[in-house]
Amino acid sequence: MSKRKALYSRKVKRAVHLLFFRRHRKPGAKGWELKKKLGADYPKVLKLLDNYLAKLDLQVKAVSEEGQPITLETAKPEQLDKAIFYVTLRGELTPTETKMMGWRIDDLAGLAITIMYIISKKGKVPREEVEKLLKEKLPGWRAEANIDRYIRAGYISEDENGQLYLDWRTRAEIDEKNLIGLVLGTETEESYP
């Protein structure tokens, strides 16, 4: 093995450690962390890792601090340094696999309801409205606990006025157009702009 190949092999292993193992409250790593640990060529390392993960039905995704998707090829270096990098599924989970992720089916349904409601209200909604909606389907204490769980996990955020909005992890993991199609009963994305 050439020295260069061995170097990149070590860097890819280190990238796996940074992206797969939780060190913070939320999964993933910031671009500046990856740059510090892997070097200035960390985007190349992440592309190599992404190619390897494709065989495992996983992918490396990047989102801005605001939750907007970022591509490694077109982003500026300063955008990448501030981005959050995260490993997620390339495909979809089966219902059996979904059970193994540690979330109850009603928790996932509540997350889908919460995301859809926020989308339907143009991106922001008072927490009380979401709690009221979830309490129609879940016990009251569970609705409040689930919202806190979604916030901790990075799927939604809450501002100082009690407004809920979608957070970076929703944008990284969830295909919003596909979710809307599933809810409306149309499984094709072509019908949405």
**Predicted local distance difference test score (pLDDT) of residue 9:** 86
pTM as predicted: 0.67
Verify that 119 and 60 share a domain, yes or no.
Answer: no
| Residues 128, 64 share a domain | no
Tell me, yes or no, whether 145 lies in a domain. yes
Strand pairing class (125-126; 58-63): unpaired
Asked whether residue 104 falls in the same domain as residue 126, the answer is yes
Strand locations in the chain (E): 29-30, 58-63, 69-70, 84-89, 125-126, 156-158, 163-166
Contact indicator for 58, 92 with CB cutoff of 8 Å: no
The two three-digit tokens of residue 53, written as one number: 């993960």
* Residue 95, token pair as written in the block: 């219902």
Domain-located, residue 177: yes
pLDDT at 190: 46
Amino acid, res. 138? L
Helix, strand, coil shares of the chain, percent, nearest 5, are 55, 15, 35
First to last CA, the chain: 48
At residue 23, the pLDDT reads: 62
Range of the domain at 67: 3-91
pLDDT above 90: percentage of residues in the chain: 31
- β-pairing, 125-126 vs 163-166, is antiparallel
State which residues of the chain have pLDDT below 50. Answer: 188-193
Choosing from 70, 91, 112, the residue where a domain stops is 91
Q: Where are the beta strands (DSSP E) in 1-93?
A: 29-30, 58-63, 69-70, 84-89
Residue 193 belongs to some domain of the structure: no
Same domain, 120 and 152: yes
